[in-house]
Amino acid sequence: MKKSIKWNKLKILGIISIIVVIVLLILVFVHGDIVATPDHSELGLYGLTALPQIIGGESLEKYQSYFKTGQRVDYESMQNDLIPYVQNIIREKMGMDLHVNTFRCSNGLHIVGASGFHRDQFDYTDTQYTFPSYTILIYLDNARFEYIPGSHLYKRMSIFTAIQQLRYGKKICIPPGTVIVMNGSVVHRALPSQNANRRLIQCFVTLPNNYPTDNVILKWNDQKSQSQWMTKFLPIFNIFYSIQQMCQLQIPFTRNYIPQSIRQGKLVSAYSMPVRKKNEDDENLYVMMPNNRIVYYK
C-alpha cells in the first residue's frame, strides 16, 4: 500500500515537472502565427457551423441502432449509409462537396482524451490562409461541447495568446441529430454529460472533393490512448495538453510525435487508437475509408 502511494506521488511530480519544462520552452521559443480566411461565412470566420437536429425520426433511430450492445458498432452501415447521408445534407444545406477520408464512432469512451482543449490537425504548411480541412461531428444523443471561435485563424499561439483565448470558450448544448462542420484547426473540447449515451461519429481531415492531398499526412498509433490512472490526474494533464495543442508544440518520444522531416510543409493529423478490423467491431476505433486519398503512416 505504501509503495503504491509513493508511486502515485512520483507520477504526479513527474507530470508537474514535465508541464513546467514544456511551459518554459514555450515561453522562450514559441511565437504566434496568424492566417487569414478567404471565406467570410460563419464557418470561415468562427470555424464552426451547426445544423441542429437535421437528422430526426426514423432515420435517427436507425442510425442509433448501428451502435450495438457490448460497445460494438456496425461500421459497414456507418460507412455505406450514415456518412453518405450526412455528406448529402452538407452538400444541400451548405453547398460543400466534402470527401470523407477517415472516421470513428464512440459512445463516451473517448471523453478522457477529448476533455482538454485540442485541435484535430496541425497546420505546418506555408499558406497564409486557413486550410480547408474539416471535422464533421454527427451527434445521435444530447451532448455538451466547447470551442474557441476564430481559433483556427492561429496556426499556433504564443502561450500568452493561448491563456487569453481560453477566456473566450463558447459552450453549446447539442440536441440529438445535430451535425457540426468545424475547421479541424479549431480549438475545442468535449464536456461531461449525464446522459446514458453519447453516440458520436467523427469524420476527420475531410477535404473538398478533388482537393490536392500531396501536403496532407495522417499518423496513427494502433493502441488505446486512455489509461485508467490518467483520470486521477486529468485536471493537471489537461493544462499541459491544452497548452501543447494551442501552441502546436511537438513533443519527442510521445505517441503522437511527428518528426520535423515529415511534418514540414504539411497539414498533419495524429491519432492514438486501434484500427477497425471487422465490419462489426468495438467502438472508438480508427476507420480508413476505402476511397481515402491521404498518405498515412504508423
- What does the pLDDT read at residue 189? 94
- What does the pLDDT read at residue 13? 73
Mind listing the pLDDT tens digit for each residue in 4-17? Answer: 555 566 677 777 77
Beta strands in the chain (DSSP E): 33-34, 48-51, 67-68, 72-74, 98-99, 102-107, 122-123, 134-139, 143-147, 154-156, 170-174, 178-183, 188-191, 199-208, 216-221, 267-272, 280-282, 287-288, 295-297
* CB burial of residue 291 (10 Å; 0-12, 13-18, 19+): exposed
In the three-class reduction of DSSP (H, G, I as helix; E, B as strand; rest coil), residue 207 is classed as strand
Residue 182's nearest CA partner among 57, 90, 115, 264 is 90
Least confident of 65-69, 72-76, 207-211, 240-244: 240-244
Distances (CA, A) of 216 to 10, 103, 104, 141, 191: 39, 16, 19, 32, 29
Q: How far apart are CA 97 and CA 91, in angstroms?
A: 5
One-letter amino acid of 177: G
Residue 77's nearest CA partner among 89, 64, 88, 58 is 64
Average pLDDT over residues 131-154: 96
Q: Where are the alpha helices (DSSP H) in the chain?
A: 2-29, 42-46, 57-64, 75-77, 83-94, 111-114, 159-165, 234-246, 260-263
Kind of pairing, strands 134-139 and 199-208? antiparallel
Band of pLDDT at residue 228, cut at 50, 70 and 90: very low
* CB burial of residue 59 (10 Å; 0-12, 13-18, 19+): middle
The fraction of the chain above a pLDDT of 90, given in percent, is 51
The answer to whether the CB of 188 falls within 8 A of the CB of 242 is no
**CB atoms closer than 10 angstroms to residue 174:** 22
Mind listing the pLDDT tens digit for each residue in 44-90? Answer: 999 999 999 999 999 999 999 999 988 899 999 999 999 999 999 99
For residue 149, is pLDDT > 70?
A: yes
Number of domains making up the chain: 1
The answer to whether the CB of 118 falls within 8 A of the CB of 187 is yes
Domain of residue 152: give its range.
2-297
Q: Which three cell numbers stand for residue 60?
A: 435517427
Find the length of the chain.
298
* pTM of structure: 0.86
Q: How far apart are CA 201 and CA 226, in angstroms?
A: 19
Distances (CA, A) of 20 to 13, 23, 191, 237, 239: 11, 5, 26, 12, 11
The answer to whether the CB of 211 falls within 8 A of the CB of 144 is no
Mind listing the pLDDT tens digit for each residue in 259-286? Answer: 888 899 999 998 766 677 777 778 778 7
- What does the pLDDT read at residue 30? 58
* CATH code (residue 133): 2.60.120
**If you average pLDDT over each of 8-17, 20-29, 116-125, which comes out highest?**
116-125
